[in-house]
Chain A
Amino acid sequence: MKLTRALTVAGALTLAGVLALAPDAALAQTTLRVVMHSDLKILDPIWTTAYIVRNHGYMIYDTLFAMDAKGDIHPQMVDKHEVSADKLTYTMSLRDGLLWHDGQPVTAEDCVASIKRWAAKDSMGQKMVAFVKEFQVVNPKSFKIVLKEPTGLVLPALGKPSSNVPFMMPKRVAETDPNTQISDTIGSGPFIFKKDEWKPGDKVVYVRNPNYKPRAGAPSWMAGGKVVKVDRVEWRAIPDHQTAINALLAGEIDYIEAPPHDLLPVLKKDPNVRLVRLNQLGGQYTFRFNTLHKPFDNAKVRQAVWYAFNQEDFLKAVVGDPQYYTLCKAMFVCGTPLESTKGMEGLLESNFEKSKALLREAGYDGTPIVLLHSTDLVVLANLAPVAKNLLEKGGFKVDMQSMDWQTLVARRAKKDPPDKGGWHAFLTSWTAADILTPVMAGFFNAGCDKAMFGWPCDKEIESLRDQYARETNPAKLKAIAEALQVRVTQYPTHIHLGQWYVPQAVRKNVTGMIEAPVTVFWNVEKKGN
């Protein structure tokens, strides 16, 4: 009797245990588990330019136009668009069947409100709306953008691939003050944000949007058909790189967006993991001048840096493996329509004698260059020591000050003299997709107080950027970009230090990742769960 009871209890416990360990029926769906480069804390891709928020935007929102792998702009939410003969009126009609996640139709009013909010924040958007006379809503599905004078900026701005991306939002959301964060996550994009499952610091959950109607055609960069092939995407927050890699090796996650270069050999050894390079343009390392203070207020002193630096030393120190970097003298990125080496002859070759000669000519008095060194981001940490070494060889005195990136971010915004908490220079990296044209690339802005930190002030550069904004002929656009590149060698705003790439680490059962400058999850398939 006792034995029977014991067996019954043991059986019940075993069953309970099995049930506890059995996968939940809901998990039978295909779930892609991803470790992104950062945790998602902010939900408004217009309010901030942070890349993780941009990536979140691509999950839940859609765009009117989008850029393909060739750099061409294609309609995305837009079905048809026409440009008047005088190039002053753009008429855009939306595709049929576009719905917000709450089931309401996407209207022209929504789009106009979205463009206005985006343009209030984005530098390219600001440039574009400076040409706009008015937005006219023609009917629920079409609207017009009427210009004061012709510009080639309208479509490139509306199809710009990186921060801030002109995502379309419902009118009630888009009417939020651009300086106030939105918390509404209703979009019309291929995924729906599961706000109830969002746990900052733990995970972000998206599910397939069953009502999304992809465009016809294959996906290419941010353009084309956004066909979702998984039921659910989870962005897991694993800030420790080693833990993320261990989790990938153990099959607990499927994908790491940005594994550090020094851990790639560990991943290469595992037969269940493959490394794929999806962002073919990669990023561009950049040395930024603060032009407000002596000695970098003197363009000739800044020119000396062009001669002191060479790209390879930086790339070797940070990336190491030549498979993941490219020497590239084109400021508007190699592999793009504006690629050019004009004006770069003899520069970036570590000609220290020339650098010293320029410093003598400029009357450099040995004022130490306050160089900000960020120590906590692996992809940036080794740049400043290389810069210090090359600058010193080129005749500069350097005071390299180490700090975490967030401190550097705060400090670079200060205009104070370097010996009173300001700075002379720092190094960063741009996603190449952010710097493809003179209007997009923020460091080319030489509008004095309106420019980004560093505050360069040059009428010739600004004139060339304005010409670029007005021009529509591709050949002339390239000529203007080249002239600008030459001008920046004479009036240096920043120095580009080569292109670099991060492969993404994916389990072998995951396929269909799209080559693009932004990590996106349409077209991705996963076998098994």
Chain B
Amino acid sequence: MYGYIARRLLSTIPVMGVVAIVVFSLLRLTTGDPAAIIAGDSATSQDVADIRTKLGLDRPIVQQFAIWIASVLRGDLGESFFFKKKVTALIAERIEPTLALATCTIILAVSLAVPLGVLAAWRRGTWIDRTVMGFSVLGFSVPVFVIGYALIYVFAIYLSWLPVQGYQRLRDGFAGFIERLILPSITLAVILMALIARITRASVLEVLNADHVRTARAKGLNELAVLGRHALRNAAVPIVTVIGIAVALLIGGVVVTESVYAIPGLGRLTVDAVLARDYPTVQAVILLFSAVYVVINLLVDLTYTLLDPRIRY
């Protein structure tokens, strides 16, 4: 097992290398010039050229890449062109809102979608099944920002129950912290719930027809025990897999959700950095997201061994 984890961790190095090359190249291929953006509208060509030199953007691309990758290997992700701050410091400032939002969303999505999926499978073909699947289709179809604006209108503007926007750090008070996370988490959870509920339903349905479930029922176990202990446990591998995929979806979703709710997290940082062509920040954030995704996949793979003793690495 430990050998497997070590091998998997080692295999992330070439993956991250490829990500680094792709991100760096894509940013340089994208039109736009950070120096011109920084200089402002009234700047002359000479002003722009001076700034480009200061930022090192006048050097050959290969040289720029070599400098960047060398500093990344030393643990230095560079300095933001705009904020004049270390990118690691920027990420540290922005990571709490994104982590909080992602955690709330995952907890909300899993705690609601898994029971709903099991319920739909258990009551297959009934109105419960159709309602859950209908909701699932809706969750997939409606864009995140539409859900966000609709929730804001109803719960923040019309009913005045919750704030429209913003984020409060946990250390500044739990009530304000959670109050500001409710709407963004629901917004982001809808699509994840749709995905997880569908897969849970399909997976549990398959297991419900298996021999061991029939045996459990024949032994006289109540339905809750049959579903929880025998059906769901054996259906868990695809569900855990899809939760891993959901985390990847979440990374895309926070970008939109943080913009709609004005949450100063990594998603907003990414958007701002892309629009401003802040190369060091975009490169660092995408590297970070890629690393998170690789680690989540590893954790998902390791979870399989806990859920199914037949799986060994």
A residues with CB within 8 A of B: 17, 20-21, 39, 41-42, 48-50, 53, 121, 123, 163-164, 179-181, 183, 199-202, 236-240, 242-244, 246-247, 249-250, 252, 403-404, 406-407, 409-413, 415, 428, 434, 442, 449-453
Contacts and interface: CB of A to CB of B under 8 A. Distances in A.
B54 A179 contact: yes
A164 B47 CA distance: 13
Given A246-B157, A410-B33, A39 B165 contact: no
Contact of A243 (B32, B47, B83, B261): B261
A240 B259 contact: yes
Contact of A163 (B42, B50, B94, B276): B42
Nearest to A18: B175
B239 to A, nearest CB: 34
Contacts of A244: 262
B235 interface: no
Contact of A410 (B32, B83, B93, B176): B32
A404 B39 CA distance: 17
Contact of B157 (A250, A406, A428): A250
B262 A239 contact: yes
B31 A407 contact: yes
Given A179-B54, A237-B264, 4 more contacts: A50-B40, A163-B40, A247-B165, A406-B37
A407 B30 CA distance: 9
30 contacts: A20-B175, A20-B176, A48-B39, A49-B43, A50-B40, A121-B47, A164-B42, A179-B54, A199-B264, A201-B272, A202-B167, A236-B262, A237-B264, A238-B165, A240-B262, A242-B149, A243-B152, A244-B262, A246-B157, A246-B164, A249-B157, A250-B160, A252-B164, A404-B32, A406-B33, A409-B33, A409-B37, A410-B277, A413-B45, A451-B44
B156 interface: yes
A237 B276 CA distance: 15
B85 to A, nearest CB: 8
A450 B157 CA distance: 52
A239 B262 CA distance: 7
A406 B83 contact: no
B164 A410 contact: no
B244 interface: no
B48 interface: yes
B32 A252 contact: no
A514 B90 CA distance: 35
A451 B38 CA distance: 19
Interface of B: 31-33, 36-45, 47-48, 50-51, 54, 82-85, 90, 93-94, 149, 152-153, 156-157, 160, 163-167, 173-176, 259-262, 264, 268-269, 271-272, 275-277
A449 B46 CA distance: 9
B274 to A, nearest CB: 9
B152 A41 contact: no
Nearest to A201: B264
Contacts of A249: 157
B146 to A, nearest CB: 11
A181 B84 contact: yes
B82 A49 contact: no
Nearest to B262: A238
Contacts of A403: 31
A367 B172 CA distance: 62
A5 to B, nearest CB: 23
Nearest to A440: B42
A42 B276 contact: no
B38 A42 contact: yes
A48 B51 CA distance: 10
B258 to A, nearest CB: 10
A480 to B, nearest CB: 22
B262 A123 contact: no
Given A243-B261, A252-B164, A413-B48, A201 B157 contact: no
B83 A41 contact: yes
B257 to A, nearest CB: 11
A23 B271 CA distance: 32
B38 A450 contact: no
Contacts of B83: 41, 200
A163 B40 CA distance: 10
Nearest to A434: B42
B260 A240 contact: yes
Given A179-B50, A200-B83, A240-B259, A406 B42 contact: no
A247 B40 contact: no
A21 B175 contact: yes
Contacts of A199: 93, 264
A202 B31 contact: no
Contacts of A20: 173-176
Contacts of B275: 404, 406
A427 to B, nearest CB: 13
A39 B272 contact: yes
Contacts of B40: 48-50, 53, 163
A180 B38 CA distance: 12
Contacts of B160: 250
A289 to B, nearest CB: 16
Nearest to B156: A250
B270 to A, nearest CB: 10
A246 B165 contact: yes
Contacts of A413: 33, 36, 45, 48
Contact of B36 (A17, A409, A415): A409
Q: Which 6 A-B pairs have the closest CB atoms?
A: A410-B33, A202-B264, A49-B40, A49-B42, A41-B82, A20-B175
Given A180-B54, A250-B156, A434-B42, A243 B260 contact: yes
Contacts of A39: 272
Contacts of A236: 166, 262
**Interface hub of A236, A243, A449 (most chain B Cβ within 10 A):** A243
Contacts of B271: 239
A245 to B, nearest CB: 9
Contacts of A406: 32-33, 36-37, 275-277
Nearest to B174: A20
B269 A49 contact: no
Contacts of B82: 41-42, 200
